[in-house]
Structure 1
Amino acid sequence: MATNASRAVGVDIGGTGIKAGIVDLDAGELISDRVKVSTPKGAEPADVLEAVKEVLQTLEAPDDLPLGVAFPAIVKNGRTLSAANVSSSWIGFEAEKFFEHGLSRDIHFANDADVAGIAEVRYGAAKGINGLVILTTLGTGIGSAMIYDGVLIPNSELGHLQRAEHKKDAEGYAAYSAMERDELSWEKWAKRLQWYYDYVEFLFSPDLIVVGGGVSKHSEEFLPLLKLRAPIVPAKHRNNAGIIGAASLAVPVPEALPAVK
């Protein structure tokens, strides 16, 4: 097993679930069971903090391990600036200080899709790729990470691209939750994804698109249905990318430093 110096804990807070695990930072792999609880209804700060305490207690990780926390919001200097799938109380909230005080320890705090991007650039499908890589996480919403020549461009929020003359934005129309809500087949959902990725490709001309989130474990059901100029591939770490990325940011690494401050 990895030594404490090469291990860290990652916590991935999502709109529907909160997951945590211990990560081997050399291999970029979980070396513990993945612990998960449901995100509290309403996702108010105090309730989310208690859920994070619960997953950490269940995980039984040593207290001396660095801790990284990923959150589904724009994050700048430890403050959350948006709240698409959590309580509006998080808007303008000093989230990093709140968690550090509540957990009685230092943490490293960042956007959930951004940390998934870090996991894929360090250990996964985007490793060694030059040019522009766009990672999207398909789940409750659509998260995104933009990585250029291995460096993260934080807080891209491409899930909120607007649809002309429609009330729902991109994630309201094409997220995995929209597929479940509207009871779509893989084929019908893929048509919505085709619109979304066509839009992203037109705006940014990426060299590679990586698809993460829980549904990526079923990537063979929908990725072959998409026709794009850029290659589109599933994230190597699937739904564990947030945990791995959050843990990797808990220990300073050169390519991550510009992305978190």
Structure 2
Amino acid sequence: MKVLGIDIGGSAFKGAPVDLKTGRLLAERHRVEIKSPCSIKEGVAAAREIARHFKWKGPVGIGFPGIIEAGRIGEVGNLGDVWVGQNGAALFRRATGCPVRLLNDADAAGLAEMQFGRGRGKTGTVILLTFGTGIGSALFRDSRLLPNAELGHIPWRGKPFERYAAASVRKRARLDWPEWAARVNVYLAVVERLFAPKLLILGGGVSKKADKFLPYIKAQAKVVPARLHNDAGIVGAALAWARP
């Protein structure tokens, strides 16, 4: 089965057709820049452009940066509060002219890593953490997803942890890799205290530079970079059509 996967981030919509059997992208991904926060009009236009770019007529899976329940959008992070309460599946179905399934963006990346990446065959508690504009998270127990686990929103010094340790913070505060890794270690210590994972998978765009920061990461669990890197969100979004 082939599905168009669309991964929505804080600065862009990215999409490509995906082979659900292999997890491979079937074409070079197409990226549409957006503003943050993003209006509904701009967001649906970005999804429409991606579908038209690939002349897509089949199913579409979308990883959305917010709480998702049965296609409806709950709490939203960087994309903006205008999306809260919207029927996201219906919005994007009208925009693309295709059947659409929606899930949380970090959950999507986690599904991809559990099926095709570092989490494949792993039991116990596995957590994927994506470091980008914010911190996304996907929580698994014996390969079963516990949806909408927003661990980047754990409070720290009166603010969500993602405002302290996201990859965007490293750039904005001009932190070197050891300085940023020290912040990530504080975050990981809290996550480990709460969930005692056996495996921590670090994803997002920063996973391509794992050699620069992994030597400074300290955790009780095994820590590995995501195998699918920044494509995990696209692949996992498509996997929405492989779930019941």
Q: TM-score range by the shorter chain?
A: over 0.9
Q: Does 1:76 align with 2:69?
A: yes
Q: CA RMSD in A?
A: 1.2
Residue 110 of structure 2 is aligned with which of 113, 117, 121?
Answer: 117
Shifted more, 77-86 versus 139-148: the winner is: 77-86
**Quick check: 1:12–1:112 contact (8 Å CA) kept in 2?**
yes
1:13-55 per-position Cα deviation (integer Å, ceiling 9, x unaligned): 1111110011111111112001111123431111100011112
- In 2, Cα distance between equivalents of 1:248 and 1:66: 11
Identity %: 39
Q: Secondary structure at the match of 2:77?
A: coil
Please name the residue that 2:193 is paired with. 202
- In 2, Cα distance between equivalents of 1:66 and 1:105: 6
- In 2, Cα distance between equivalents of 1:93 and 1:48: 13
**Quick check: 1:8–1:23 contact (8 Å CA) kept in 2?**
yes
Residue 231 of structure 1 is aligned with which of 192, 202, 222?
Answer: 222
- In 1, Cα distance between equivalents of 2:16 and 2:73: 23
Task: Give, in angstroms, the shift of residue 122 of structure 1.
Answer: 0.8
**Quick check: 1:40–1:51 contact (8 Å CA) kept in 2?**
no
Stretches of 4+ moved more than 3 A in 1? none
Please name the residue that 2:122 is paired with. 129
Q: Does 1:16 align with 2:11?
A: yes
Please name the residue that 1:55 is paired with. 50
Please name the residue that 1:160 is paired with. 153
1:165-192 per-position Cα deviation (integer Å, ceiling 9, x unaligned): x243100000001101101100100010
The TM-score, its normalising length taken from structure 1, stands at 0.90
1:135-190 per-position Cα deviation (integer Å, ceiling 9, x unaligned): 01000000000011111000000000101xx2431000000011011011001000
**Quick check: 2:125–2:141 contact (8 Å CA) kept in 1?**
yes
1:39-82 per-position Cα deviation (integer Å, ceiling 9, x unaligned): 23431111100011112222334x1x321011000111111111
Please name the residue that 1:100 is paired with. 93
Residue 172 of structure 2 is aligned with which of 178, 181, 185?
Answer: 181
Q: Secondary structure at the match of 1:74?
A: strand
- In 2, Cα distance between equivalents of 1:66 and 1:45: 21
1:193-241 per-position Cα deviation (integer Å, ceiling 9, x unaligned): 0000011011100010001101110011111211111101011100000
- In 2, Cα distance between equivalents of 1:41 and 1:146: 26
Q: Does 1:248 align with 2:243?
A: no
Residue 44 of structure 1 is aligned with which of 39, 46, 65?
Answer: 39
- In 2, Cα distance between equivalents of 1:37 and 1:110: 20
**Quick check: 1:10–1:247 contact (8 Å CA) kept in 2?**
yes
When residues 56 and 40 of structure 1 are mapped into structure 2, their CA distance, relative to the original with a 3 A threshold, is farther
The TM-score, its normalising length taken from structure 2, stands at 0.97
Instruction: Please list every run of 5 or more consecutive structure 1 residues that lacks an aligned counterpart in the other structure.
Output: 1-5
Aligned length: 244
Q: Secondary structure at the match of 2:155?
A: coil
Q: Does 1:215 align with 2:206?
A: yes
Please name the residue that 1:146 is paired with. 139
Residue 79 of structure 2 is aligned with which of 78, 83, 86?
Answer: 86
**Quick check: 2:10–2:36 contact (8 Å CA) kept in 1?**
no
Q: Which residue identity lines up with residue 245 of structure 1 in the other structure?
A: G
- In 2, Cα distance between equivalents of 1:103 and 1:57: 8
